[in-house]
């Protein structure tokens, strides 16, 4: 999807049926965080904020949500290979939410003031990840960067940064379900 020439889609297709959705970045980020945590109650709550009528087929709906959020990553129900260095995740909405929010406001205040869709937000995050002056770039490089060609001092520095910024996997407890 090219946001310069295409509007953000305001619906998802589930079982051949178009379902209108709210496109607000914050709503979809909350949905992703809930999915990451595996908390069924929070997932249901976030879905109810995105759509007025939740479809009966939750698996098809979840797949449609992933296709809507990441159209270039999910094709025909299968995730495409991610060519990211070391297959590491460069950012996490739960762990990096405050940094993402602050840097979006710092670098794109006019857009944030008017409100952004999920797809716009993801494009802006990509810009932050490619700007060496941002904390998001620093965090992403610490998590995913290739340190093999750096001299020893820099490699040691980035290894320490990797340990600091690693994404801690949340263990889902029985209470969360």
Q: Measured at the alpha carbon of residue 95, what is the angle toward residues 89 and 99, in degrees to the nearest 5?
A: 100
- pLDDT score of 173: 41
Q: How far apart are CA 129 and CA 133, in angstroms?
A: 9
Give Cα 131 distance to the centre of its chain: 18
Name the token pair of 153: 């001092």
User: Which H helix or E strand runs over 80?
Assistant: none
The alpha carbons of the chain give a radius of gyration, in whole angstroms, of: 18
Q: Is 135 exposed, middle or buried, given 0-12, 13-18 or 19+ CB atoms closer than 10 A? A: middle
Low-confidence ranges of the chain (pLDDT < 50): 76-87, 171-177
- pLDDT score of 60: 81
- pLDDT score of 57: 75
- pLDDT score of 172: 42
CA distances from 140 to 6, 48, 143 (A): 28, 32, 5
Name the token pair of 131: 């700007």
- pLDDT score of 171: 43
- pLDDT score of 48: 87
Q: Are 92 and 167 a contacting pair, CB within 8 Å? A: yes
User: For residue 91, which of 24, 147, 141 has the smallest C-alpha distance?
Assistant: 141
pTM for the model stands at 0.71
Q: How far apart are CA 117 and CA 99, in angstroms?
A: 18
């Amino acid at each position: 999807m090219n946001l310069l020439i295409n509007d953000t889609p305001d619906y998802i297709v589930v079982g051949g049926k178009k379902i209108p959705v709210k496109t607000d970045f914050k709503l979809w980020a909350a949905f992703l965080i809930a999915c990451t945590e595996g908390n069924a109650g929070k997932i249901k709550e976030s879905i109810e904020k995105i759509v007025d009528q939740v479809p009966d087929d939750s698996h098809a709906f979840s797949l449609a949500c992933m296709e809507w959020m990441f159209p270039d990553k999910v094709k025909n129900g299968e995730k495409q290979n991610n060519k990211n260095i070391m297959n590491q995740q460069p950012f996490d909405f739960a762990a990096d939410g405050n940094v993402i929010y602050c840097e979006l406001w710092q670098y794109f205040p006019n857009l944030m003031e008017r409100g952004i869709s999920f797809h716009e937000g993801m494009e802006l995050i990509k810009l932050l990840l490619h700007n060496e002056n941002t904390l998001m770039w620093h965090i992403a490089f610490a998590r995913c960067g290739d340190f093999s060609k750096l001299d020893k001092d820099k490699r040691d520095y980035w290894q320490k940064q990797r340990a600091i910024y690693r994404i801690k996997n949340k263990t889902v407890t029985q209470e969360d379900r």
